[in-house]
């Protein structure tokens, strides 16, 4: 298995974890905050992961000229703050995340295994295609850790 295929398989597993952690929750549960004054919620994390996939795959690797997702006028807190218990907000978050994952997959379909070596900024800790993919896995894993405890707090459900 190539390195690119292995990294993609890890990413697929982590996306599935997000689906499992959010499965069956009501809008109220999805928007429930962790501990006051924290704004962290399952719904906010889904919005943030959509933003993160979009940033790395669409804006950075594809150099698309689009505004960031869920960062209106540079307001980074909006991803979490505006994740409210509303059916439309919930539907938008999951639709946007899944659509962005599909766009990211299309970007990765266009990569050759050798493209992992491509460096656009040798001075940046995340300055190559490989670094970007590892960073995405790291982001997903850390946020899955948040989802683990959020879900356990909501209804006691645990597991991978």
Binding site for another protein (CB under 8 A): 1, 3, 6-7, 10, 14, 32-36, 38, 40, 134, 137-150, 152-154, 156, 160
DSSP letter (8 states) at residue 50: H
- Residue 6: CB minimum distance to another protein, A: 6
147 CB-contact burial (10 Å; exposed 0-12 / middle 13-18 / buried 19+): buried
- Residue 22: CB minimum distance to another protein, A: 15
CA dist 43 and 85 (Å) reads 9
Residue with Cβ nearer another protein (95 or 117): 117
Residue with Cβ nearer another protein (10 or 94): 10
Task: Output the CA torsion sign for 47, 9, 134, 111.
Answer: negative
- Residue 156: CB minimum distance to another protein, A: 8
Residue with Cβ nearer another protein (54 or 151): 151
**Alpha carbon of residue 65 to chain centroid:** 20
């Amino acid at each position: 298995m190539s390195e690119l295929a292995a990294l993609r398989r890890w990413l697929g597993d982590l996306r599935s974890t997000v689906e499992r952690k959010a499965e069956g929750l009501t809008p109220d549960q999805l928007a429930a905050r962790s501990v006051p004054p924290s704004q962290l919620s399952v719904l906010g994390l889904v919005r943030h992961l959509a933003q993160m996939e979009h940033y790395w795959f669409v804006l950075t690797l594809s150099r698309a000229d689009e505004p960031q997702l869920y960062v209106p006028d540079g307001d980074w807190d909006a991803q979490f703050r505006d994740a409210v218990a509303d059916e439309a907000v919930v539907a938008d978050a999951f639709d946007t995340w899944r659509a962005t994952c599909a766009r990211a997959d299309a970007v990765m379909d266009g990569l050759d295994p050798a493209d992992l070596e491509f460096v656009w900024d040798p001075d940046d800790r995340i300055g190559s295609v490989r670094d970007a993919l590892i960073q995405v896995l790291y982001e997903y894993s850390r946020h899955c850790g948040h989802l683990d405890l959020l879900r356990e707090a909501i209804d006691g459900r645990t597991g991978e």
